[in-house]
Structure 1
Amino acid sequence: MPLEQRSDVDQAGLLGRVVAGDRRAAEALTDMIAPRILRFAARMLGDLTEAEDVTQEAMLRLWRMAPDWQDGAAQPSTWVFRVATNLCTDRLRRRKPMVNELPDLPDTAQSQHAQMMQAARAKALENALAHLPERQRQAVILRHLEGLTNPEIAAIMMLGVEAVESLTARGKRNLSAILAGERDALGYDDDQ
């Protein structure tokens, strides 16, 4: 079994050999630790390039501190994971703006598609209204487009409130029948 794949490898001993100039020990320790750090950093940062930078920096720090390594301390891989964690945290903090961001506000401007759909709906309604009998058209416009109450409409049309309610109800049914074939084209679901 290759040295870097054995679980019983004394990482601190390898690090000591690195300090003594053993190139194979440095390669073995790198092969043992760096791929795990890279996977960890890539998951933390969501960016492989940044993860590679973190891995390289963490391993460089290990090599720099190797002469001062104390036996009995944590495994070198544990120490490198801690360093990588701190490096990732620093990078993630730098990504965040230093000032509080404003919350996302809803876009009040309509998209081009929404504007076109609204214009098509208005045109279809205008055409359908033109096909209603005059009094139904008048009652529907006053009630649903102008927002007047039934008593106000009754006064304008010189009718009783019940007559206005009847005209409005028949006008809405007729509009629905006229527009029924255009529901899909106007972007209306059956339940709207």
Structure 2
Amino acid sequence: MLGQGAAGIDDCVSDVRRAVVHVRRLAALRGLEKQCLASGGSSAGAHLALLAAMTDPGVAAVVALNPAGLDLLAFPPEVRRSIEQRAGIAAGRAIDYSLIEFVRPGSPPMLIQHGTADEVEPIDHVRRFRDAMVLAGNECTLLEYDHAEHAFHYPGNGRHFDDVIDATVRFLLDRIAAT
């Protein structure tokens, strides 16, 4: 995590990839099959889970809560530069981490839960990402929470916690049942 041992986003991506490999190894030792493994995260963690799943599929599904970085090039240049600086991305290299640039057929099913008033990643970026994923033939479900801001899903941050947990469980159980 940035500020906790990671110098930049590349360190974070490497950590996530190592974690996926480690979890796959542990799952195999315990007799769990790949179709039972899912990943997910919130905000920057959701970005990392999605990036890992889209570039090196190792999980059967991804749950992303208010993901950041879906369409970095849609931000005005000054905002993009600020994001690059805060995330440890080399100047002018936001395209290398903008998830919409990684959309290809064959990504694992994704559930994105996002607030319509998210101040970090605008809902129109999320809708554009979802549409690109579906157009590429991938399953990408977007659940929108009206007037919810970033981090809306945490206990105590509003009325959505139970709905987010219920939707996540249904999504994951449906994926496991389909295998």
Q: TM-score, normalised by structure 2?
A: 0.20
Q: Which has the higher contact order (CA 8 A, sep 6+)?
A: 2
Q: Relative to total residues, which structure has the larger strand share, 1 or 2?
A: 2
Task: Looking at secondary structure, tell me which structure has more helix per residue.
Answer: 1
For the pair shown, the structure with the greater C-alpha radius of gyration is: 1
When the two structures are superposed, what TM-score results if normalisation uses the length of structure 1? 0.19
